[in-house]
Amino acid sequence: MSDDSFIREVNEEMRQDQARALWDRYGPIALGVAILVVIGTALWVAYDYWDSARANAAGDQFSQALDLANGGKADEALAALKALEDDGYGSYPLLARMRAGTVLYDKGDFTGAVSAFDAVSGDTSVPDSIRDMARLRAGLILVDHGSYADVSARVEPLNNDTNTLRHAAREALGLSAWKAGNFADALTLLDKVSSDDTAPRNTRERATLLAELIRGSGSAS
């Protein structure tokens, strides 16, 4: 045997010994990590499937409730929305609560609709943006079916320069003030909307028209 061959064999033996030593030392750990990765991946896939299945089922329930409402079956729609509120998944229970308020309004149950929106706006577990929307919805109903005090109690918290719903809130307050005979207050609120370049154009146009109607009637003098 040549020296080169002998050296190669010795090197090969050394590599095999090192490999065996590494496996003896780290093999079980590597195997355990691999098993954990496989288990973790399987659990994540299973959870993702379960999560998607529940979300899809809740979405189907919500769509069915909307179909019932759009078909004029208010009571059946409300029952379906209540079931979704109680047993739904993800954001659908909250959507069901908001939609139930709309169904009650369409049904002519204005008191029930306001109560539904008040319940959402008073729920501290609900995101602030949704609570504000519920306040506005209740306030808009009360413009026609309540007093200025009723509207203000819901909408006044939105009447600040940082709230994204401030324009609609001021319009609702202005309409309610006009209805109550508070023409000066109505003009102040409506002018604030019509002069605000950040307000949606259709909202500014409505506010301008309403203000002109009040001034034209001579009520504000």
**Can you list the domains of the chain with their CATH numbers?**
3-156 (1.25.40.10)
Q: Is 47 exposed, middle or buried (0-12, 13-18, 19+ CB in 10 A)?
A: exposed
Angle at 105 (CA atoms; ends 104, 108), nearest 5 degrees = 90
Angle at 88 (CA atoms; ends 83, 90), nearest 5 degrees = 155
Structure tokens at 37: 């990765």
pTM, two decimals, is 0.76
Count of other CB atoms within 10 angstroms of residue 89: 16
Query: Could you tell me how far CA 156 lies from the centroid of its own chain?
Result: 22
pLDDT per residue, tens digit, the chain (221 aa), is 455 564 555 456 556 556 566 556 665 666 666 677 777 777 777 766 666 777 778 888 988 998 999 999 999 999 999 999 998 888 889 999 999 999 999 999 999 999 999 999 999 999 999 999 999 999 999 999 999 999 999 999 999 999 999 999 999 999 999 999 999 999 999 999 999 999 989 999 999 998 998 888 766 55
Computed on alpha carbons and rounded to an integer, the radius of gyration of the chain in Å comes to: 33
Confidence at residue 10, expressed as pLDDT on a 0 to 100 scale:
46
